[in-house]
Amino acid sequence: MIPRFFIKYKLEIIFVVFIVIFAAVFLINNANIQATAKPGQETWQGSDDQGSAAIEATGYTPWIQPIWTPPSTEVESLLFSIQSGLGAFVIGYFFGFYRGKRDSATPA
Amino acid sequence: MHIMEGYLPWQWCIFWYLVMAPFVIYGIYLLNKQVKEHRETLSLLAVSGAFIFLLSSLKMPSPVVGSCSHPTGTGLSTVLFGPFITCVLSAIVLVFQALFMAHGGITTLGANDFSMGIAGPLLGYLVYRVAKKVNLNIFVNIFLVAFVADLFTYVITAIELAAAFPATHGGFLISFETFFAIYAVTQVPLAIVEGLLIALVFKYIVQSRGDILVKLKVLTPEQVTKIMEGFK
């Protein structure tokens, strides 16, 4: 008989186990990559930037520039954090709302 | 999957805008209808949109490959609201990223929304319907939808770029290989994470608002009861 806990939290367990494997593979692979990287070489680049680089390698130059570019990677990551924050806020708000509604509907 | 501002020849920009237009127009029509006629689903619509916002902002390392990419988060709204509404939600996120982060672009919006908002979710939706027909476990189904929608988005980006930049020797196929290696291979582990996460979140939605899922015809009342029992 499987303990109740594993049935109740089956999906959570699968998710956490996969994330742990994910992180472990990342750490091992990162150690290899850092050991073989030439000084100054950028590792763990974004695939979007690699795509742009591959396009430039064909001799193409972009015909238009973005209207606004974040002045540094710090500012860029701030904006990305705001984006995730907004998303997480909305998700948390509604799940909390659902929970509150459910709990108040079934008086203890 | 973001093609950056100016990185597509203008003819392709126009082409992808023309492809995107009917989907977005029909999507806006459906979105209005949904909000007017089924007001109670509005909160889940917001949550689905928020997932696209949240997941597409997370640049994660792809552990096997050694580069970074981000999930798309379109799986949830594909299942709940279908691919057309998803393409409108994706377009909003893409405009936001193009204007504030210089990530993606306004000229390339058509191409980016076609991959992330249209092609990925459409294939995901197809998977959803087929899996439902054969009575696949709903959580496995949701995992597959999110996985497919995410991964296929990046395959489409590779196709879009290969079409716009065919190699001088070997043409489309050779450059497809290059872009496929950059985009799609990186994406596999991230698509798995996204699939697992969306399936997990779906469990919470069933537990808190199974009634809306019944209204959206995702589950029958019997299925909701059965799932609730299964996690007790």
What residues does each domain of chain B span?
10-226
Report the candidate in B217, B205, B60 with the shortest Cα–Cα distance to residue A84: B60
Contact A64 B5 (CB under 8 A): yes
DSSP letters spanning B134-153? TT--HHHHHHHHHHHHHHHH
Count, in order, helices (H) and strands (E) of chain B: 8, 2
Q: Give B66-92 pLDDT, tens digit per residue.
A: 899 999 999 999 999 999 999 999 999
Q: Give how far the C-alpha of residue B158 lies from the chain's centroid of Cα atoms, to the nearest Å.
A: 16
A63: which chain B residues are within 8 Å (Cβ-Cβ)? 6, 9-10
Predicted local confidence at residue A106, as pLDDT: 72
Q: Give B102-146 pLDDT, tens digit per residue.
A: 999 999 999 999 999 999 999 999 999 999 999 999 999 999 999
Contact A44 B61 (CB under 8 A): yes
ipTM: 0.93
| Confidence bin at B48 (pLDDT 50/70/90) | very high
Predicted local confidence at residue A39, as pLDDT: 84
Predicted local confidence at residue A25, as pLDDT: 95
A30: which chain B residues are within 8 Å (Cβ-Cβ)? 61
Q: Give A46-81 pLDDT, tens digit per residue.
A: 999 999 999 999 999 999 999 899 999 999 999 999
Q: Give B154-183 pLDDT, tens digit per residue.
A: 999 999 999 999 998 889 999 999 999 999
Predicted local confidence at residue B179, as pLDDT: 95
Contact A50 B67 (CB under 8 A): yes
Looking at residues B8-33, what average pLDDT do you find? Answer: 97
CA distances from residue A15 to A79, B21, B142, B231 in whole angstroms, order as listed: 28, 37, 14, 16
Question: Which residue of chain B comes nearest to A8, CA vs CA?
Answer: B231
Report the candidate in A7, A14, A49 with the shortest Cα–Cα distance to residue B101: A49
Predicted local confidence at residue B65, as pLDDT: 87
Q: Choosing among B12, B42, B43, B53, which should be mutated to test the A contact, i.e. which has the most A CBs within 10 A? A: B53
Predicted local confidence at residue B89, as pLDDT: 97
The Cα A85–Cα A66 span in angstroms is 24
B96: which chain A residues are within 8 Å (Cβ-Cβ)? 83
Predicted local confidence at residue A107, as pLDDT: 66
Contact B4 A52 (CB under 8 A): yes
Identify the CATH number of the domain defined by range B10-226. Answer: 1.10.1760.20
Predicted local confidence at residue B107, as pLDDT: 96
| Confidence bin at A42 (pLDDT 50/70/90) | confident
The Cα B159–Cα B151 span in angstroms is 13
Q: What's the mean per-residue pLDDT of chain B?
A: 95
Q: Is the pLDDT reported for residue B64 higher than 90?
A: no
A46: which chain B residues are within 8 Å (Cβ-Cβ)? 59, 67-69
A87: which chain B residues are within 8 Å (Cβ-Cβ)? 50-55, 57
Predicted local confidence at residue B139, as pLDDT: 97
Contact A44 B47 (CB under 8 A): no
Contact B196 A15 (CB under 8 A): yes
pTM of the predicted model, to two decimals? 0.95
Q: How many CB pairs under 8 A join A and B?
A: 162
Give the sign of the dihedral formed by CA A83, CA B118, CA B60, CA A41.
negative
Chain A closest-CA separation from residue B164 CA (Å): 10
Q: Is the pLDDT reported for residue A108 higher than 80?
A: no
Supply φ then ψ for residue B61, to 5 degrees: -70, 140
Counting residues of chain B whose pLDDT is more than 70, the rounded percentage is: 100
Q: Choosing among B89, B177, B182, which should be mutated to test the A contact, i.e. which has the most A CBs within 10 A? A: B182
Contact B63 A66 (CB under 8 A): no
What tokens were used for A95?
Answer: 């799940």
